[in-house]
Structure 1
Amino acid sequence: MRNTCHSKDARALRQEKSLSVECKRIASPLLFCLLMVLSALSCSESNGPEKYIVTTQALSGASWPLFIGVEGGYFDKYGLDVDLRFGRHPAGIAGVSSGDVLTINIGLDTGLAAASKGKRLVMVGSPVNVGTFVLMGTKETQDVKELADKRIAIGRVGDPPYHYTLALFKHLGIRTDNIKWIPSGGAPTRMVTMINGAADAALLTAPTYYKLIEEGYPVLVNMSDYPEVIIAQAYMFHRDMLENKPDVVENFMKAVIDATHRFYTDKPFAMEAMRQHTNVKDDVTLSQVYDDYFAIEQLERIPYIRQDAIESVVERNSERLPELKDMDFSDMLFSSVLDKLAEEGFFEEIYGPDIKKELKEAQAAAAR
């Protein structure tokens, strides 16, 4: 992914050598040195920041640090030229696994399941730990407990909405044995699937469900009312990147942390960043989405993957993935990247000294 001036072809090297000899013959030593300095500067400028692909599965507020990272120049600030792309599960995991993609922000349930299948995939940091999903029902459905044997629209079996719905129902004591899962794609198409009568409920993100509420569809559950049902995401990387280019991962995390600070301090810019990367264009809706995320402080200022999030994933997936119970996750969770930033005072540099208490609490709650 990185181009350097050390990769010059043989012809270029011969030309440079010839220029060097000629300069030595006809120019003063001072002029010769000046030419060499200018050549080095030109080479450096031609490289620019390192180019990397970053993938997101969520064109929603959970990806706000990525949106702001691009639009606010934070990736550039830390030496990364990021091409942000949208990709549905499992395209992002495949890209990271192959080395074509630097990272993906992915649901922790999906991420742990993927990382457990070998040693290639690891996780660093968690942008969110609270869900803003809302379970919407048809107008004929008035109580979430009515869904025990009904049809529920999801992206696909194994994706985040599927895992989150399972977690919610388990918490509420609703059996899922007889539920029929309807693969429907992203939040807008899940909504359409339900409206058209092909599903009885759908787990949706803002702002997709705003229109449904206006039209009289019932909110069966707002997951922000159940913080004990932890809905976490994580940034997934290839292990080789952590072992061979840790500075790249560190700079990525610096950029998203810096961008998260911008989210909390600059609402107009955060709204514009989302406008540029999603289909949400009008100010009223953008403002409402921002206010919803800001009110529950959904984006993590200190983005450690939490131990209780790991435990929640293992517990709610114990029947489907029993091997998770006995797994040592310490080898796939690189909290050391954030520990290093904390030791260097990066969080205080971004947020000021008042962040110390929150930092201490986040480190104590981190999975290691």
Structure 2
Amino acid sequence: MDRSSLAKKRRRFALGFTAALIATIASGIANAAEISKPTSLRVAYSAITVNQAIPWIAYEAGHFKKHGLDVELIHASSITALQALLANEVSIAQSVTDACVSSNLSGADTLFLGAILDKPLYSFIVNPKIKTPQDLKGKRVGVTRFGATPDALARAMLKMWNLDPATDVMMVQLNEMGLLVQGLVNNVIDAAPISIPGNIRAKNLGFTELFDMTKIGKTYITGTVVTRKRFIDSQRDTAKRFMRGFLGGMKTYLEDEDFSIKVIQKWTRAKNRDEIREAYALQARNMLRIPRTSIEGVKTILEGMEKIPGAKTADPRRFIDSTILDELEKEGFLKTLYKN
């Protein structure tokens, strides 16, 4: 073979090798891009209140992105959020607490992944003319939606005061927590259980705290993370990554006050920074560092649902998935969260 033919063969080989190398590299880049592509996840939050703040903070601080999630946060009332969860329109719903239990009792596969609080950071706020619980007879008690947590808390308080929610008062639905304060201002209602920061706003407007519901004397879970068993079973890795991001949001909440207050103000559109700071501090003092769902808290909810078939005999453990947090603890993730 002459030198000219040999040179041509070498050039053809070099070109073929280069083309193959480029194709391999391009394929590798495409595969890497596919692997690193964030997983889309839709999450509903059910109220414009401070106990909904952890997903907002996790989102704004980049914790979800850090764990490979492209999270879309959607606002819907608690009942609407639960309906979206059951229709697979969202995979996780924040603070649809009582609705999680009632839907499970009715045959759905709703479960608690966690809860940031084991007491209700609510006040039972009333018109200043109301001095005692007995003054509530014949009055209008506002709630967001029937079956939602404020409704359950209102009924629990009325029963504690030996008042019948069905006959002694008129229960009025106003859909949103913020509208309960507005309802008091506009004389649409006379009383309501209101969470932070709305209760602080109401007191600053001259309304009276008839009862501080953190002193209710029972464990009551709020700020819950609710999903479905089928989501955990079919997308377990995504569920774990969500909880990693959520836990990161809790850490940021507890350790970065200024950032957290800015985020809360942004998402609630609250103008009074002092009220948000007071609400932030109250929740920070009471928030669990690890959001394990309290069995006693689920028992409290079941006690308020005695008219629903199966509520009296239901095992509270059936409403809780602890396996995700258990795995994160076993993997050492929980130990890495906090400095102390």
Q: Structure 2-normalised TM-score?
A: 0.88
Q: CA, structure 1 residues 227+342, in 2 after alignment: closer, same or farther (shift >3 Å)?
A: farther
Say which SS state the counterpart of residue 53 (structure 1) adopts. strand
- Within-5 A mapping of 1:121-140: 121-140=110-129
Q: 1:268 to 1:233 in 2, by over 3 A?
A: closer
Q: Distance in 2 between matches of 1:66 and 1:350?
A: 16
Aligned to 1:310: 298
* CA–CA separation in structure 2 for the residues paired with 1:124 and 1:91: 19
User: Which one of 130, 134, 145 corresponds to residue 156 of structure 1?
Assistant: 145
Q: Work out whether residues 70 and 82 of structure 1, in 8 Å CA contact, stay in contact via their aligned partners in 2.
A: yes
SS in 2 for 1:230: coil
Structure 1 residues 281 and 34, CA gap change in structure 2 (3 angstroms): farther
> Pick from 195, 201, 210: which aligns with 2:191?
201
Matched, 1:323 2:313: no
| 2:241 counterpart residue number | 251
Deviating above 4 A after TM superposition, structure 1's stretches of 4 or more consecutive aligned residues are none
Say if 1:96 and 1:104, in contact at 8 Å, map to a contact too: yes
For 1:109-188, what aligned pairs fall within 5 Å after superposition? 109-178=98-167, 179-188=169-178
- After the TM superposition, which residues 1-368 of structure 1 pair with which residues of structure 2 at under 5 Å, given as runs? 27-29=15-17, 32-45=20-33, 48-178=37-167, 179-228=169-218, 230-295=220-285, 297=286, 299-318=287-306, 320-352=307-339, 354=340
**How far, CA to CA, are the matches of 2:54 and 2:185 in structure 1?**
32
Unpaired runs of 5+ residues, structure 2, are 1-11
* Gapped regions of structure 1 (runs ≥ 5): 1-23, 355-368
Q: Report the Cα offset of residue 29 of structure 1.
A: 3.2
Query: With CA pairs under 8 Å and 6+ residues apart, which has the higher RCO, 1 or 2?
Result: 2
Q: Distance in 2 between matches of 1:213 and 1:330?
A: 38
For residues 291-327 of structure 1, what are the alpha-carbon distances to aligned partners after superposition, in whole Å with 9 as ceiling and x for unaligned? 22223x2x32211111101111111221x32421123
Deviations 1:127-147 (A, max 9, x none): 222211111111211123322
Distance 1:275 1:228, change over 3 A: same
Amino acid at match of 1:342: E
Contact conserved, 2:97 with 2:148, CA < 8 A, in 1? no
Matched positions, count: 327
Q: Secondary structure at the match of 1:326?
A: coil
CA distance in 2, matches of 1:93, 1:203: 21
8 Å CA contact 1:258–1:350 kept in 2: the answer is yes
Comparing 139-148 and 224-233, the one that deviates more: 224-233
Q: State the partner residue of 2:9.
A: none
Any conservation in 2 of the 1:143–1:220 contact (CA below 8 Å)? yes
Contact 1:54/1:83 (<8 A) preserved: yes
The secondary structure found in structure 2 opposite 1:317 is coil
Q: Distance in 1 between matches of 2:41 and 2:58?
A: 13
- Indicate if the aligned counterparts of 1:55 and 1:105 stay in contact, CA closer than 8 A: yes
Structure 1 residues 109 and 196: alpha-carbon distance in aligned structure 2, compared to 1, 3 A threshold? same
Shift of residue 328, structure 1, vs aligned partner: 3.9
Deviations 1:131-178 (A, max 9, x none): 111111112111233224421011121111101111223334443232
Query: Cα deviations across residues 274-300 of structure 1 (Å, max 9, x unaligned)?
Result: 1221121343232222122223x2x32
SS in 2 for 1:27: helix
Deviation at 1:119, TM superposition (A): 4.1
Quote the RMSD (CA, aligned, Å).
2.2
Cα 1:311–1:228 change in 2 (3 A) is same
CA distance in 1, matches of 2:30, 2:73: 28
**Amino-acid identity (%):** 18
Residue pair 2:121, 2:196 contacting (<8 A) in 1 also:
yes
Paired residues of 2:141 and 2:170 also in contact (CA < 8 A): yes
1-structure distance, mates of 2:317, 2:207 = 44
SS of 2:48's partner is coil
Change (3 A) 1:227 1:254: farther
Q: Which whole-Å deviations, capped at 9, do the CAs of 1:206-257 have from their partners, x for residues lacking one?
A: 2223343233221111112325252434322222211111111111111111
Specify the structure having the higher radius of gyration (Cα): 2
Counterpart of 2:241 in 1: which secondary structure? Answer: helix
Match of 1:126, SS state, is strand
- Secondary structure, counterpart of 1:84 in structure 2: strand
Q: CA deviation at 1:332?
A: 4.0
